[in-house]
Amino acid sequence: MVLHIPFDNSYAQLGSGFFTKQSPEPAIAPSLIAFNLPLADLLQVTGNDRAEMAEVFSGKQIPAGADPLAQAYAGHQFGNFNPQLGDGRALLLGEVLGRDGKRYDIQLKGSGRTPYSRQGDGKAWLGPVLREYVISEAMHALGVPTTRTLAAVATGETVWREGGLPGAVLTRVASSHLRVGTFQYFAARGETEALKKLTAYAIQRHYPQARGALELLRAVRDAQAGLIAAWMSVGFIHGVMNTDNCSISGETIDYGPCAFMDQYRADQVFSSIDRMGRYAFANQPKIAVWNLAQLATALIQQLDNPQEAVEEATAIIHAMPSLIEVEWLRLFRRKIGLETIATGDLELISDLLQVMSEGEADFTNIFRALAEGTAVEQFKDPTGFEAWQSRWMKRRQVEQNAEAIMQASNPVYIPRNHKIEEMIGTAVAGDFTLFERMGQVLQTPYVEQDGAEDLRRPPEPNEVVRATFCGT
Ligand code: AMP
Ligand code: MG
């Protein structure tokens, strides 16, 4: 069956200031590594010819209705403003309307240079492509808003990083690729008309109920607050929360040096480039607020009375920390089996995290073990945990469904760093068994599965991954 993608493109109609049209570089010998059938079904993408899919999802063949372009954006990278970033190794093929009635971008990542590539080659290698595939799909199954992965293709080319590595292209699906940095791009250039056009487009696409720029700001705040709380609840560290990696839709985007924590540490950092710990685990809520303030600064510039708007925008931003905390508390209450609300819950949860931190406990496994009644066995010295447990038991007395709630809120499996590394190593050597098995098991992360014990186990000391890399 010939591949069919029902394109319905809207971003391309915004005009030439928003992007540069660009064709992908044709891959030499593309071969399909993986194709996400359930996602294809949602997007109404049909076809079963693997050779054709490899050509389309590497950029060698441009499918009917596609209109490839690289999007322009700016962004604060580690706090420093860069007025010109843009898709340096990504191309938007176009958009489709899913079965759910929602609009989705289909984008190739790693298909060659664009006018925004700067010194980069526009390529990706197999490691980050498989990493993003597994982690983004795991995030989706965990219930965290995220971009998704439709396909991974090996290009048959060598990509040069520290040495030669096998090239690959990832097909990313997002409810859009509008970023805080997209707004900053036009604001920094003083292009007020374009900023207005972008604002209207973002409202129509994501928050049709919003009236004007400040209501858009409020809607993005709410979406981002929910996202950050969700990250915290599964121990996810994004690693590069630059404003260009902060999506307007509130989806997790730009999987680079991200990682899930094994051992709980509030100040955990994995990214090798995050030397100051700006994007450490517990800093993520603060950074999300900072990013929202940058969006506000950009949005305000289109208003007739920017001075007046500052006050309202400030109030919108100032409300964000407590919104994150409310959602965080709701999620963590569920993680310890609580449906009712009582004063002292915040302290109870914070004290558990403190006990976990002192006991060097595995974040995912302790929470899961609470449901299974085996948490005490996981501490070398259980004294602190036992004291906490007796407080918790008392608090739990009013709860009806504690175990069921905990099992639905505490995953058995997360994409652990050391397994991701092992998976990349075996895939580079030509064996995709672990890649496929991780994908399979992580589709239902809240359900214990036979033969997946290795994916549940924390790393041995010699397996611990201490640093992750953008690796693009
Ligand atoms: P990221 O860290 O993935 O958010 O990327 C930051 C910026 O660098 C974006 O504008 C990317 O498009 C660009 N970039 C990253 N890697 C490459 C590459 N290999 N070639 C060209 N541009 C790149
Ligand atoms: Mg980025």
pLDDT recorded at residue 6: 98
Residue 122: CB within 6 Å of ligand 1?
yes
Mean pLDDT calculated for residue range 398-426: 97
pLDDT recorded at residue 162: 87
Tell me the CA distances in angstroms from 425 to 149, 422, 429, 433, one per residue in order.
20, 5, 6, 11
Q: Which atom of ligand 1 is nearest to the CA of 470?
A: 2
Q: Which atom of ligand 1 is nearest to the CA of 121?
A: 20
Confidence of residue 469 (pLDDT cuts 50, 70, 90): confident
Residue 59: CB within 6 Å of ligand 1?
no
Confidence of residue 346 (pLDDT cuts 50, 70, 90): very high
In this structure, are strands 124-125 and 19-21 parallel, antiparallel, or unpaired? unpaired
Residue whose CA lies nearest to ligand 1 atom number 12 = 88
Q: Which helix (H) or strand (E) holds 35?
A: strand 31-35
Kindly tell me if the per-residue pLDDT of 306 is higher than 90.
no
What pTM was computed for the model? 0.98
- Ligand 2 centre and the CA of 80: distance in Å? 14
Tell me the CA distances in angstroms from 101 to 45, 104, 153, 200, 253, one per residue in order.
14, 10, 28, 20, 21
- Ligand 2 centre and the CA of 77: distance in Å? 9
φ/ψ of 300, rounded to 5, equals -60, -30
d(CA 82, CA 244): 10
d(CA 81, CA 397): 52
What would you report as the CA-atom Rg of the chain, rounded to the nearest whole angstrom? Answer: 22
Residue 87: CB within 6 Å of ligand 1?
yes
d(CA 168, CA 108): 10
pLDDT recorded at residue 224: 99
Mutation pick for ligand 1 pocket among 25, 80, 81, 89 (CB with most ligand atoms within 8 Å):
89
Q: Which helix (H) or strand (E) holds 291?
A: helix 284-300
Residue 88: CB within 6 Å of ligand 1?
yes
What sections of 80-145 are H helices per DSSP? 126-142
User: DSSP states of 167-236 as a string?
Assistant: EEEEEEEES---BHHHHHHHHHTT-HHHHHHHHHHHHHHH-TT--SHHHHHHHHHHHHHHHHHHHHHHTE
Residue 84: CB within 6 Å of ligand 1?
no
Kindly tell me if the per-residue pLDDT of 204 is higher than 70.
yes
Q: Please name the residues in contact with 99: beta carbons below 8 A apart, sequence gap of 6 or more.
A: 41, 42, 43, 44
Write out pLDDT tens, residues 231-251.
999 999 999 999 999 999 999
d(CA 234, CA 370): 15
Kindly tell me if the per-residue pLDDT of 15 is higher than 90.
yes
Kindly tell me if the per-residue pLDDT of 216 is higher than 80.
yes
Write out pLDDT tens, residues 108-147.
999 999 999 999 999 999 999 999 999 999 999 999 999 9
Q: Please name the residues in contact with 169: beta carbons below 8 A apart, sequence gap of 6 or more.
A: 27, 30, 57, 58, 59, 108, 109, 110, 111, 124, 129, 152, 153, 155
Q: Which helix (H) or strand (E) holds 365?
A: helix 363-372
Here the tokens at position 81 are 């403003």
- Ligand 1 centre and the CA of 192: distance in Å? 27
pLDDT recorded at residue 472: 57
Q: Among all ligands shown, which has an atom nearest to the Cα of 257?
A: 1
Kindly tell me if the per-residue pLDDT of 64 is higher than 70.
yes
* Residues assigned a catalytic role: 244
Here the tokens at position 378 are 């996981």
Q: Among all ligands shown, which has an atom nearest to the Cα of 160?
A: 1
Where do the domains of the chain lie? 11-174, 180-318, 330-409
Q: Which helix (H) or strand (E) holds 392?
A: helix 383-396
Kindly tell me if the per-residue pLDDT of 328 is higher than 60.
yes
pLDDT recorded at residue 223: 99
Q: Among all ligands shown, which has an atom nearest to the Cα of 258?
A: 1
Kindly tell me if the per-residue pLDDT of 101 is higher than 80.
yes
- Ligand 1 centre and the CA of 195: distance in Å? 23
- Ligand 2 centre and the CA of 189: distance in Å? 20
pLDDT recorded at residue 468: 86
Kindly tell me if the per-residue pLDDT of 470 is higher than 80.
no
Q: Which atom of ligand 1 is nearest to the CA of 244?
A: 4
Average pLDDT of the chain is 97
Q: Please name the residues in contact with 215: beta carbons below 8 A apart, sequence gap of 6 or more.
A: 203, 207, 209
Write out pLDDT tens, residues 89-99.
999 999 999 99
